[in-house]
Amino acid sequence: MASSPNRQPNRRRQRSVRVTVAVSLLSLAALVVLFALPTQSPVWLSVSSVCALLCGFAASRIVYNELLQSRRHNAADRVAQAQAYRVMFTERACEHAEFTTAMTDRLAGRDETIRELEGTVVLAEKRAMQAEQRVKRESRLTHEAQQKVVELQEALEIRRAEEADELATWDGWDALRAHA
């Protein structure tokens, strides 16, 4: 039975010729008995009963053989299905193993990258703290230097004022000034 690739195969099996023959034999036996009954002849009734018995035995034997063949066919289908499943399972197991290996490698790489980035962050934090300490130290030194400059300017102003006072009180200054 050829089927196109787009159609699902028919799950119902066709009736075999053997089953048709068995049904025909039983029908023939029934007809023989029906024709022998109105005659009421012991010979015809005996012949029809023996014929019905033989036809019934032959029909039951044919149906039994058909049943055995059907069971063998179904068993072969189950074996083929089990083998296909085993092949599919093997393929899926290989794919799963490959996927697991790939994911494990990716996770290991990600963990390594995280460790490297954490190390970089720790180093950057350390450098930032050192730079902050340097800035604070230099800011403090700059502030101290500015205070020192202010103090020195005040001291210079005081010193200039004192010198001006000394020069003003010096007798020769007036003469020097007049001469200039």
Domain boundary assignment for the chain: 17-125
Please tell me the pTM assigned to this model: 0.46
pLDDT the model gives residue 80 = 96
In 3D space, the residue among 10, 13, 2 whose CA is nearest the CA of residue 66 turns out to be 13
pLDDT the model gives residue 131 = 94
Rg (CA), the chain: 59
What is the amino acid identity at position 141? L
pLDDT the model gives residue 3 = 47
pLDDT the model gives residue 144 = 93
Q: Which residues of the chain have pLDDT under 70?
A: 1-15, 170-180
- What does the block give as tokens for 46? 């005996």
> How far is 58 from 100, CA to CA, in rounded Å?
62
* 22 close to 63: Cβ distance less than 8 angstroms: yes
pLDDT the model gives residue 168 = 72
pLDDT the model gives residue 128 = 95
> How far is 175 from 141, CA to CA, in rounded Å?
48
